Amino acid sequence: MTGTASLITIVIAISVFGLLFAAWLARWVLRNSMGSEAMRKISNAIKQGAEAFLRRQNRTIMTLALLSAVLIFVGYGVLREHRSFDPVGSSFELAAWITLSFVLGAACSVFAGYVGMWISIRSNVRTAHAATSSLNRALRIALRGGAVSGLLVVGMSLLGVAGLYALVNAFSSIQESGDIPLLIVGYGFGASFVALFAQLGGGIYTKAADVGADLVGKVEAGIPEDDPRNPAVIADLVGDNVGDCAGRGADLFESTAAENIGAMILGASLALAADANGVPFSAGVVGVMMFPLIARAFGIIASIVGIVYVHMDKDEEMDPMTALNRGYYVAVVLAMAAFGGATYWLLHSEQAPNAWWHFFLCGIIGVLTSVAFVYITQYYTEYKYRPVKSIAEASETGPATNVIAGISVGMETTAVPVLVMGAAILGAYYIGDAAFANTAGVNGGLFGTAVATMGMLATAVFILAMDTFGPITDNAGGIVEMSQQPEEVRRKTDRLDAVGNTTKALTKGYAIGSAALAAFLLFQAYIDEVLQYAGGEEAGFFDLPVNLAKPVVFVGGLLGAMLVFLFSSLAIRAVGKVAQSVIGEVRRQYAGLPRVHDIIQFPDDFEPDYGTCVDLVTKSALRRMIVPGLLAVLGPVSVGLLFRIFITKGQPLIAAEGVAALLMVGTIAGILMALFLNNGGGAWDNAKKYIEAGAHGGKMITAADGTEMKNPVHAAAVVGDTVGDPFKDTAGPSLHVLVKLLSTITLVLAPLFL
Amino acid sequence: MTGTASLITIVIAISVFGLLFAAWLARWVLRNSMGSEAMRKISNAIKQGAEAFLRRQNRTIMTLALLSAVLIFVGYGVLREHRSFDPVGSSFELAAWITLSFVLGAACSVFAGYVGMWISIRSNVRTAHAATSSLNRALRIALRGGAVSGLLVVGMSLLGVAGLYALVNAFSSIQESGDIPLLIVGYGFGASFVALFAQLGGGIYTKAADVGADLVGKVEAGIPEDDPRNPAVIADLVGDNVGDCAGRGADLFESTAAENIGAMILGASLALAADANGVPFSAGVVGVMMFPLIARAFGIIASIVGIVYVHMDKDEEMDPMTALNRGYYVAVVLAMAAFGGATYWLLHSEQAPNAWWHFFLCGIIGVLTSVAFVYITQYYTEYKYRPVKSIAEASETGPATNVIAGISVGMETTAVPVLVMGAAILGAYYIGDAAFANTAGVNGGLFGTAVATMGMLATAVFILAMDTFGPITDNAGGIVEMSQQPEEVRRKTDRLDAVGNTTKALTKGYAIGSAALAAFLLFQAYIDEVLQYAGGEEAGFFDLPVNLAKPVVFVGGLLGAMLVFLFSSLAIRAVGKVAQSVIGEVRRQYAGLPRVHDIIQFPDDFEPDYGTCVDLVTKSALRRMIVPGLLAVLGPVSVGLLFRIFITKGQPLIAAEGVAALLMVGTIAGILMALFLNNGGGAWDNAKKYIEAGAHGGKMITAADGTEMKNPVHAAAVVGDTVGDPFKDTAGPSLHVLVKLLSTITLVLAPLFL
């Protein structure tokens, strides 16, 4: 049962099962009623806007991806000379496989994002309608809608990697099966290439619409959130789908794909070393290499059980978050049991009988890390705790002190997660290292960190389902509000919406934690790969120390960190600029309305023109995603090529080393910046909610003369919340992708820097 | 003329000359009139506040420094075992020298900061009085007052290093003169230890008072800046002296001291290698090692000539900035000529006749880098250019978009400086490397980067004089405003004040650029030192690659970057918190005043209580500087010790390597974060000034009904300016010191991690 064919068959079978289950869930969701005419009308407007944006976005992305595919093919096939230690016989074949896997990765990523959005814009109105009768039903529709996306993302990434593996195995001229991952690294790069643009474009769209709608609607016109009189409100609701659903879907698709391949590369290295040193794994090299895929496949099943299990209690009094948590714990426990089974099955060695449970422990470290991240994120972003309260308090002295406090909290939130990550990396490394403590020459440390990453990602399907739950419930709330449902229905969707905000924040913490572990894994894969392409030990290269003390390497690191700052700058600016044009458009639509004391008096027959706002945001967001996107792609490539061309005197691998530093320091800076932006933004958001819940005077206060007036403390908090919007939903999530893109792009292009 | 004694004598003689010249300048400044009774009264209040703060601050800092001295002595003398390759014969002697140099460095730093403030609080009123008659005289008083500080800082740092060198040379049991710098590294650590707390305490003080005074005075009470009715106004003026003068003085004292020692360590290594490979320097090992001190000494003379040269044209129509620039160019040209002479004299080698001019080129790279930084800073922070204009434009849609735009600009400003730094480091490295192109085994690359740093710092005296010029003219403007001088005098001080704002921004750019080059130099010194203490080649250690691909090293890097974020968070928060208490105090003083329509009607006899504000800020700023200060000091130490204790299995230098990564990645993150904070803050400040100069409607606009009202665009810009205050004057400048402290602390404590 451990031959290549049977292992691949198991993985493919489970992936297909996951996809079929997704189809079943989708049918289950679609069978629910779409509600009243009014609801359907709003839902249709959202649907049209989201589909139009995604169509145009995909056209842009596919053009860029095809261009890159051509460049990759030319780079590998024409510019780079064949070397004797290449994994296949000719430059042309190498180029063909890498380009094929790139195109396939990109196509699958586009498809995964599209389907995620497709089901989400159909689940929202059904959730809204269900809320008119049963909260339990509404909860289940939203979660299962999200689960379709989650299953599709993880299933397809697995199917893609396993399928490509099978293809290469069957048709290429490859000599050693341990080299197969080198031919399919393009899959991860294709996926992250698409994910970067999807997350950037979607992220700019969603926050530009949100900021624009808020500033001119809530602040200037004084109408509530999601009010139908706001011309930007549909664009705002569309944004939730294209940013949070499609963007995050592509992001996690890419994570799972890249991490699977990275772990396979490390697994192959370890298994070969174990073979050579007399402690072979019982399941052979292929078994170890397949372990990540098998573990992931088991995780799919565990998550499915967890998702199906989620339900409210009979009288619907419980916190919906508790219902989700119960399902999550079911998934975690099952995933862990399956993980233990998989380690025993595939990572056991007769000669080193303790090895397998060392790796099992590494997996548990991964799970605990993800749990720790969830709690840390809660502490920093929920208003029960000190950080958010301090921001609310600082709002007493105006918007400036609110912003200062929020930035301070955001920067502070980097500390504990870094300590946890550091402990996890070192813990997994040294436990993995101890797996073969008695055998010199076999170091399981790096594979230990890879297994920890696998553990962290074991429940990715469930996490992704919870994440997509967020925009679905957010949209459902908007539909209920805009179709003017009774107060009691609104209260139900508000409860779901509040849970959705929490799950969205948690998954961001989870995503960044897994990005950190995964990045470390991908560095090692990169170094392994550089050494292989350089000829390895036969050519005299035993190791590639990434020595920061060398000027070229230090400058590479400096450039990597700079890339993170510049990229964040461009992403944040894009939101500001597009939001400014949204504000201009809304002001134009309001220009002719009568005013009393500068307050707009809406006529009863006022019909805003939603379409122009949707169109405006679509065009501007797509235009503004290009520069930061290309920066992320071309930055590392040009640094690598410049180093390669100008600095090689007596140091054959120096360009690869400089790029490695760019990758690693860029990753460190990216992780910290993402934590700062995500958590700072989340804390600002909840500081505002805390005041709205009544703290520091609430939204409205009574002036000395008895009139109701807006509370300036709340107004100050709104400023912070708005500043935080592009932080937490555009730049932050895009940085997750950037960090992984840096890894995959360097993995794919490494041979060109040698 | 190249014996140790004569070289040391030259350095000491020039340093003493610089100090005597400072005394002469001080007397020249003090001979000017202190103006009217009203001016003197205000000036006295500032003087008292500043002196009281510095006295208390110094007491706190000295206590902490003495505690550290004891710990260093115990660490070296008792806990660490003597090793055969230590530079001196016993642990006790090693501990004694390092502790002595630490204490001396700390004491000199305190003294330099104190004198800088002493002269600055005496120059301000004299500048104010001179402005009533002659702008030229006012300009020269302010610049020469600043020059006293500059000369003192550079002269003392040089005298300290040279004096310690002479002491060690005469009295210690040291064998090789190349090892002397190892005994005096403590001087740099002592200096940066004091600088960190001075810059933190002063920076918190100045911005908390500024933010507090602005928010409650300008925004709430609607009175202009520096209005005598604002109870926080004296605290604000005191802040300029204790933050900008005393803080920056300690900062640059520490830079020059640490960089001198670092360059000496690298020079000694290079000269020994050159000796061993048959290309000895004509001036010997000592000559090369003394080169940094000689170059610096020549720079003092060049700067003196430049400072004396500064004057306005006869009719006082020219831009005072032009007058300063002319003097600066004189200093630069002279410094370069002297630099060329010094390289030919001390870095010439008969056997490698081209070596010296390679190093001269490295020096020129350093100078060009400093000029580039000056221009880049101008582009990003002056309102003639796109970045600041974009922030002003974003203010049209309110404070939130203003803040978003400012953060985006701040992050963007990291890009070009990093490219310049990267080019400078690589350029200097490869030119230095080519100096001995024909001799294998001698690599002048690292010393080339050290020489570039020397070039950059050649005009440090002049730069520091311009920097201190800023707070003196700022204070002079405040005194003129508060003593209600005629409009015409105010216009003169306003012209000087505007120039002062520019010079302050420029010196920050210069400081961060030199910190980057210097940091790279200090890394190399650290690695050299670790190898020496570990026994060097005899013990089998040829090199210490700081290999980021190792888990421990990667985690070290992660922790270093995190330290920067956490430190910035604490510094920014401190300002926010102290400012909030200032606002509370001012509101308390205003509470009883009559109001019409919520606008305070000040009675004619209203006398605010300045003292309580000064006292409040003094106490709170000192309390809040402790935690971030200790974090910066204890962070790297505890990481080093933890790594040392828990992770050494088979890797004797792993703790030193992990700490090196903490240092290097921390430096990269620190440089980028400081650029972001400094330039972002400067851009916000000038966006506000741009609007005040009339753009986007100016300060006041005319409403539809004809009444004058505050322009909301200006109000939005004030929010950004306030957010930028702690960025640019507290966290940013403190990060410069943090970066250098990381270097000096690891240099001093390296032996404890082995």
At residue B109's C-alpha, the angle toward residues B556 and B343, to 5°, is: 80
Cβ atoms of B215 and A401 within 8 Å: the answer is yes
DSSP string, B636-669: HHHHHHHHHHH--TT-TTHHHHHHHHHHHHHHHH
Task: Count CB atoms within 10 A of the CB of residue B280.
Answer: 18
pLDDT digits (tens, 9 = 90+) for B202-250: 999 999 998 888 887 777 777 777 788 888 888 888 888 888 777 778 8
Helix (H) or strand (E) holding A708: strand A708-710
Nearest chain A Cα distance for residue B580, angstroms: 7
Is the pLDDT confidence value at B1 over 50? no
> Nearest C-alpha of chain A: how many angstroms from B482?
26
H helices present in A317-414, as ranges: 320-346, 355-381, 386-394, 399-412
Confidence of residue B482 (pLDDT cuts 50, 70, 90): confident
Q: What angle, 0 to 180 degrees and rounded to 10, lies between the N-to-C axes of helices B487-533 and B732-749? A: 20
Task: State the pairing for strand pair A700-702/B599-600.
Answer: unpaired
CA distance A726 to chain B (A): 8
Q: How far is B532 from chain A (nearest CA, A)?
A: 16
Residues with Cβ within 8 Å of A103's Cβ and at least 6 positions away in sequence, in order, are: A65, A66, A69, A190
Spell out which residues of chain A touch residue B655, defining contact as CB-CB under 8 Å.
Answer: none
- Cα–Cα distance for residue pair A23/A694, rounded to 1 Å: 44
C-alpha pair distances (Å), A103 with each of A108, A165, A191: 9, 15, 9
Distance from A85 to chain B by nearest Cα, in Å? 24
Q: Do B404 and A546 touch (CB under 8 A)?
A: no
pLDDT at residue B692, as a whole number:
86
In chain B, whose CA is at the least distance from the CA of A416?
B562
How confident is chain A (754 residues) per 10-residue block, as mean pLDDT?
Answer: 77 92 94 89 88 89 92 86 77 89 92 87 92 89 91 90 87 78 85 89 91 79 78 87 80 82 85 88 87 91 91 81 88 91 90 90 90 86 90 92 95 94 92 85 86 88 89 89 87 84 80 80 83 76 82 93 96 91 87 78 84 88 90 90 76 85 94 94 90 86 78 91 92 90 86 79
Q: Cα separation of B319 and B135, whole Å?
A: 11
Q: Is the dihedral of CA B7, B10, B16, B22 positive or negative?
A: negative
Choose, out of B269, B391, B411, B443, the residue to mutate when testing the contact with A (most A CBs < 10 Å). B411
Residue entry with tokens 């948690």: A506
Q: With contact defined as beta carbons under 8 Å apart, do A716 and A403 qualify?
A: no
pLDDT the model gives residue A648: 63
Q: Do A580 and B394 touch (CB under 8 A)?
A: yes
What is this model's ipTM? 0.92
Q: What is the pLDDT of residues B380-434, one digit of tens each?
A: 988 889 999 999 999 988 899 999 999 999 999 999 999 999 999 999 999 998 8
Count the helices and strands in chain B (H runs, E runs).
21, 4
Give how far A12 is from chain B: nearest CA, Å. Answer: 34
Option in A425, A579, A580 nearest B554 (CB)? A425
Q: Do B719 and A719 touch (CB under 8 A)?
A: yes
Whether residue A523 and residue B399 make contact (CB cut-off 8 A), yes or no, is no
Count Cβ atoms below 10 Å from residue B654 Cβ, excluding itself: 20
**Cα gap B239→B232, rounded to integer Å:** 11
DSSP H or E run through B709: strand B708-710
Query: Do A400 and B215 touch, CB atoms closer than 8 A?
Result: yes
**DSSP character string of B49-109:** HHHHHHHHHHHHHHHHHHHHHHHHHHIIIIISPP-TTSSSS-HHHHHHHHHHHHHHHHHHH
Residue B242 is classified by DSSP as I
Contacts with A41 (C-beta within 8 Å, 6 or more apart), sequence order: A483
E strand or H helix that includes residue A709: strand A708-710
In tens, the pLDDT along B712-751 reads 899 899 999 999 999 999 999 999 889 888 888 888 888 8
Residues B233, A64: Cα–Cα separation, whole Å = 57
Number of H helices, E strands in chain A: 21, 4
From the CB of residue B372, how many other CB atoms can be counted at a distance below 10 Å?
19
Exposed, middle or buried by CB within 10 Å (0-12, 13-18, 19+), for A738? buried
Please report, to the nearest 10 degrees, the dihedral formed by the alpha carbons of residues A225, A231, A233, A238 taken in order: -170
User: Residue A547 gets which letter from DSSP?
Assistant: B
The pairing of strands B708-710 and B700-702 is antiparallel
Whole-angstrom distance, CA of residue A41 vs CA of residue A237:
13
Query: Minimal CA–CA distance to B624: which of B584, B671, B670, B567?
Result: B567
Give the minimum alpha-carbon distance from B570 to chain A in angstroms, rounded to a whole number. 7
Contact criterion met (CB below 8 Å) for B263 and B514: no
**A415/B575 touch (CB, cutoff 8 Å), yes or no:** no
Q: Can you list the alpha helix ranges (DSSP code H) found in A172-283?
A: 180-213, 233-239, 248-276
Instruction: Tell me the pLDDT of chain B averaged across its residues.
Output: 87
- B contact test, residue of A266, A411, A647, A657 with most B CBs within 10 A: A411
The whole-angstrom separation of Cα A13 and Cα A23 is 15
Contact A583 B394 (CB under 8 A): no
Cβ distance of B549 and A524 shorter than 8 Å: yes
Q: What angle do CA B424, B429, B433 make, to 5 degrees?
A: 150
Closest alpha carbon within chain B to A219: B398
Structure token pair of residue A677: 């932006």
* SS3 per residue for A649-678: CCCCCHHHHHHHHHHHHHHHHHHHHHHHHH
Residues of A in contact with B661 (CB under 8 A): 548
Inter-chain Cβ pairs, chain A and chain B, closer than 8 A:
247
Which of A210, A369, A395, A404 should be substituted to probe chain B, the one whose Cβ sees the most B Cβ atoms within 10 Å? A404
- More confidently predicted of B3 and A124: A124
Cα B390 to Cα A579: distance, rounded to the nearest angstrom: 14
State the pLDDT at residue B722: 92
The answer to whether B151 touches B500, Cβ cutoff 8 Å, is: no
Packing angle of the helix pair A732-749, A610-646 (nearest 10 deg): 40
Q: Residue A37, exposed/middle/buried by CB under 10 A (0-12, 13-18, 19+)?
A: exposed
Stretch B657-684: mean pLDDT, rounded? Answer: 93
B675 pLDDT band, cuts 50/70/90, is: very high
Interface test with A, best of B266, B414, B523, B673 (most A CBs within 10 A): B414
CB contact under 8 A, A576 and B408: yes
- A579/B548 Cβ within 8 A: no
Most confident of A64-78, B554-568, B612-626: B554-568
